[in-house]
Structure 1
Amino acid sequence: MNESRVTQDVLDDAVVRAVEDAVAAPECGAVVTFRGVVRDVDGGRDVTGLDYEAHPDATDVLRACCAQVTAETGLRVAAVHRYGVLTIGDVALVASASAGHRREAFDACSLLVERIKAQVPIWKRQHFTDGDSEWVGL
């Protein structure tokens, strides 16, 4: 099963475990997982929540990002990104990488997150406490 995908499903502990299981291997002594969580402030403004919109090809692009990072590093990686209406504290992104040693796993996970943010066609609308909203990543 290819765990990497874009979904409207809540990214709960079971999803995090599934992403980690997708990269686990007996030779890997390090599994690094990143959770991107909706925070209550951005740029000094109080945030009440986010809406994520995803292009229909977002899962294909996310999987391509994973394949690129694997090709570049030789490591196992996986990620799931949520879209739809998210509230403060919700997990928007889970990304994981495994390696023989921690530094390699940290570096690959960081590379994966940056690649996803730069390439996957997902756009974020932030809602602020003053009633304003703004699109990020258009």
Structure 2
Amino acid sequence: MPGFHLSETPIDVAPLRAGVLDPRAGGYASFEGWVRDHHAGRAVGGLDYEAYAVLAEREGERIIAEAKARFDVIDACCVHRVGTLAIGDLAVWVGVSAAHRGAAFDACRYIIDETKRRVPIWKREHYREGDADWLHPMAEEA
């Protein structure tokens, strides 16, 4: 399985977690980002994610490779949804295994922060008032 990929279907965490676990690992960290019902003081009813898939996966793989080298982790994976998502849906998942917990936590944070900063994924929020806006996830606070 690639270290980074986009998914048009709901993210199943269990096999992803199993995929990064390793007998050499003493620590595992993960992050789950869900669709919330508000943003910037507005009620959100759902959203759409779109990505420039080839570039997104290439840049995502680069981020995974950087995290593995920088934090000395054993394995790492990031999956980001594309398509229409409802409130409460899992939008992004990151999992990291490492010999020690500090490296796992640090790499996990690095992967999600860099994914939001560098990967070309756009979000269109649908507001309960009836309108919608395109946002780039990079512009949001973590």
With structure 1 as the length reference, what TM-score do the two structures score?
A: 0.91
Cross-structure match for 2:65: 67
Deviates more, 1:25-34 or 1:82-91: 25-34
Q: Which amino acid aligns with 2:65?
A: A
Q: Which residue of 1 aligns with 2:39?
A: 42
Tell me, in whole angstroms, the C-alpha distance in 2 between the residues paired with 1:35 and 1:62.
16
Q: What do residues 17-64 of structure 1 show as CA deviations (whole Å, max 9, x unaligned)?
A: 222222211121211111110000111111000100110312222112
Superposed, 1:14-93 pairs within 5 Å as: 15-57=12-54, 58-75=56-73, 76-93=75-92
Deviations 1:71-92 (A, max 9, x none): 2112121111110000000001
Task: Tell me which amino acid in the other structure corresponds to 1:130.
Answer: E
Equivalent residue of 2:94, what SS?
strand
Secondary structure of the structure 2 residue equivalent to 1:130: coil
Match of 1:108 in 2: 107
Root mean square deviation of aligned Cα: 1.5
Conserved 8 A contact 2:31-2:108:
yes
Equivalent residue of 1:39, what SS?
coil
Residues paired across the two proteins, number:
135
Does the aligned pair in 2 maintain the 1:31–1:99 contact within 8 Å?
yes
CA distance 1:4–1:56, change in 2 (3 Å): closer
Q: Moved runs in structure 1, 4+ residues, more than 6 A?
A: none
Question: What percent of counterpart residues are identical?
Answer: 38
- Mapped to 2, the partners of 1:49 and 1:41 lie a distance apart of 9
Kept in 1: contact 2:125–2:135 (CA 8 A) = yes
**When the two structures are superposed, what TM-score results if normalisation uses the length of structure 2?**
0.88
Gaps of 5+ in 1: none
Shift of residue 2 of structure 1? 2.3
Indicate conservation of the 8 Å contact 1:2/1:22, yes or no. Answer: no
Question: In the aligned structure 1, how far is the partner of 2:16 from the partner of 2:36?
Answer: 22
